Structure 1
Amino acid sequence: MLLSTDIGIDLGTASILVYIKGKGVVLKEPSVVAFDRDTNQIKAIGEEARLMIGRTPGNIVAVRPLRQGVISDYTVTEKMLKYFIRKALGKKTLRKPRISVCIPSGATEVEKKAVEDATYQAGAREVSIIEEPVAAAIGSGIDISKACGNMIVDIGGGTADIAVISLGGTVVSTSVKVAGDDFDEAIVRFMRKKHNLLIGERTAEEIKIQIGCAYKRPELVAMDVRGRNLVTGLPKTITITSDETLEALREPAMQIVDAVHNVLERTPPELAADVYDRGIVMTGGGSLLSGLDALIEEKTGINTVIAEEPLTAVAIGTGKFIEFMHGQRDVE
């Protein structure tokens, strides 16, 4: 039996990651819940439920209880958290765990409270709420306790958080509701407009991962896409190229670049000089979009790199945040 555990949860719009002190990231599953409308019973949670999106009969719905990094369905989120915490811990613990959860930097007090309450309901003894960019910085291995500026661009599924961090806190930040999901939606719209082809969000995500780009690729890549032809109403397969995805993704990618620009404009000069020297660090699944780092670098003139483990950086940082906080308390 374990006495007590420190857990870090990256509560993302697209996926939930659980970090346990001493073990690392023990669980990564999509934040999707499938439940039966008639009986209100949960049918599946996580990966199993994700496979049901767009493929369920009328009485079963697969939902994402978090929209743009914010809880949109409270009871479902609570049940999902409970399930993931139990699954991550495995065995029974004597004391309830201490849990730190991260949320987008632009979240309101009400939204923070909702996350906190849901985590307590899911069985936490103590809850700390952290802002996503701070967690991302810790998880990327940046020492945030020093008095120098670090810029983090964390692009998740629902929000992109951009912040300049110094002395363990956020100096300037912004959170824009443009991220991975919006890239998918942009691809769906483009396919409909240009090719009269209707595709689902999972197909759009595959296109984004395989050939999507925000900056012209050195060599052209193509893939076959299946969907429904809107003119004939019949299934159809067409081939699209990476240059077409560049056109489709131009708008959401530029919105993120503008947000980075906006944060740089508001950064105090001393910290701006630090950022120029140290570069911009990108984390989150959205940062893996091909050429997005090159686009930011071209538009800002600042060296931009992707963190070593962009997908798990926030979860690792959330877990280590408890240690960071206790370290600060020890100093005091």
Structure 2
Amino acid sequence: MVGSDIGIDLGTASILVYIKGKGVVLKEPSVVAFDRDTNKIKAIGEEARLMLGRTPGNIVAVRPLRQGVISDYTVTEKMIKHFIQKALGKKSFRKPLVSVCVPSGVTEVEKKAVEDATFAAGARDVKIIEEPIAAAIGAGIDISKPCGNMIVDIGGGTSDIAVISLGGSVVSTSIKIAGDDFDEAIVRYMRKKHNLLIGERTAEDIKIKIGTCYPLPQPETIEVRGRNLVTGLPRTITVSSEETEEALREATLQIVEAVHSVLEKTPPELAADVADRGIVLTGGGSLLRGLEELIEEKTGINTMTAEQPMTCVAIGTGKYVEFLAGKRDEEF
């Protein structure tokens, strides 16, 4: 049966499923809503995301993956099962071969947890890949050549930075500063500067619409609704893109510093390749405006974002299975 090889990008913010020959067939937020009283799952994915911060007492909407690591095992297992079934349809009799990607800094125990959850969700075999390698394959870089490529993959919970050569990462680091932290920084800033309490989803909206980490030629504004902490009543204020730059400064500079530290540890030959070929940004967090300019200004290296940064890792995870299959064919 064709198409039973699956690649899963198990992200903190969203889960993408890639099927061999079909491409990315599913992209849903990694949120699960379940009823506390009966312990039954109410909704998974987009449906559950809409419930975040809006649920009554007995229903909880949670993200079972925090910073790229499984924080709630049983819920994650059910979620993976749901997505595998949804992607393959009910017709598949043969269990799929699943490759899953994890952040580059995870421990053996955390890797094992992902592997066990995927087996329990009905996989025939599980391959674990490191995120930067999957991102590089998905961005269309030929990783098997002996030359250095630098990938900065900014997801929801973690940012992975690696220099890749000959199919493996030479120097890599994973920091727990990413898209979610951008949202939190905006929430904190609004509370401190405007005495306004806003939710995660509103913060994300601000980030997507006017968020920037480098001064824009033309400042933009957006109306934000939240709760005034002084009066306790709902209130609307106008926020400018300049303010988001101030709010996000600390988080984005930590990413730039991580890029810097990886470059410091890179062997000179590969560093020369990176200076020549540039830095490639992938992941949803790389869509934040001004990141390219910021990294370029601080490192002096040409920086570009991959064509479809959101789906790079998922495509790479799926292609990795084909990459391995190619190797298997050569062996026999």
TM-score bucket of the superposed structures, by smaller chain = over 0.9
Please report how far the alpha carbon of residue 3 of structure 1 lies from its aligned counterpart in structure 2 after TM superposition.
Answer: 5.6
Tell me if structure 2 keeps the 8 A contact 1:4–1:96.
no
Maintained 8 Å contact 1:135/1:315: yes
Pairwise CA RMSD: 0.8
Distance 1:268 1:250 in 2: 30
CA separation in 2, counterparts of 1:307 and 1:328? 26
Partner Cα separation in structure 2 for residue 310 and residue 69 of structure 1: 17
Aligned to 2:298: 299
Corresponding position: 1:36 with 2:47? no
Matched, 1:162 2:175: no
- Equivalent-residue separation in structure 2 for 1:151 and 1:43 (angstroms): 41
Structure 1 residue aligned with 2:63: 64
With normalisation by structure 2, the TM-score equals 0.99
The separation in 2 between residues aligned to 1:331 and 1:191, in whole angstroms, is 57
What pairs up with 1:155-234 in 2 under 5 angstroms? 155-234=154-233
The one-letter code matched in structure 2 to 1:318 is T
Structure 1 equivalent of residue 77 of structure 2: 78
Distance 2:156 2:187 in 1: 16
Task: Kindly state the Cα deviation for residue 330 of structure 1 after the two structures are TM-superposed.
Answer: 3.1
- Judge conservation of contact 2:3–2:20 (CA < 8 Å) in 1: no
Structure 1 stretches of 4+ with a deviation exceeding 6 A read: none
CA distance in 1, matches of 2:306, 2:82: 29
Tell me, which stretches of 5 or more residues in structure 1 are unaligned?
none
Instruction: Tell me the SS of whatever aligns to 1:253.
Output: helix
* C-alpha contact (below 8 Å) 2:31/2:61 kept by paired residues: yes
Match in the other structure for 1:20: 19
Q: 2:145 & 2:61 partners in 1: Cα distance?
A: 44
- 1:133-164: CA deviations, max 9, x gaps? 00000000000000000000000000000000
Equivalent pair of 1:3/1:95 in contact (CA under 8 Å): no
Give the number of aligned pairs. Answer: 331
Unaligned runs of 5+ in 2: none
Matched to 2:289, the amino acid is S
Q: How do residues 262-281 of structure 1 correspond to structure 2 at under 5 angstroms? A: 262-281=261-280
TM-score (norm 1): 0.99
CA deviations over 1:156-178 (Å, ceiling 9, x no partner): 00000000000000100000000
Give 1:95 shift. Answer: 1.3
By how many angstroms is 1:295 displaced?
0.2
Which residue is 1:237 aligned to? Answer: 236
Which secondary structure state, in structure 2, belongs to the residue aligned with residue 7 of structure 1? strand
The AA in structure 2 aligned to 1:101 is V
Take 2:32 and 2:91, find their aligned partners in 1: how far apart are those partners?
A: 24
CA contact (8 A) 1:4 1:93 kept: no
Displacement after TM superposition at 1:4 (Å) = 5.9
Distance in 1 of aligned mates of 2:308 and 2:34: 33
Residue equivalent to 1:52: 51
The question of whether the paired residues in 2 share the 8 Å contact of 1:155 and 1:287 is answered with yes
Could you tell me which amino acid in structure 1 is paired with residue 157 of structure 2? G
Partners of 1:102 and 1:33 in 2: how far apart? 20
Are 1:109 and 2:108 an aligned pair?
A: yes
Question: CA-to-partner distance for each residue in 1:201-228, whole Å, 9 max, x for gaps?
Answer: 0000000000000101110100000000
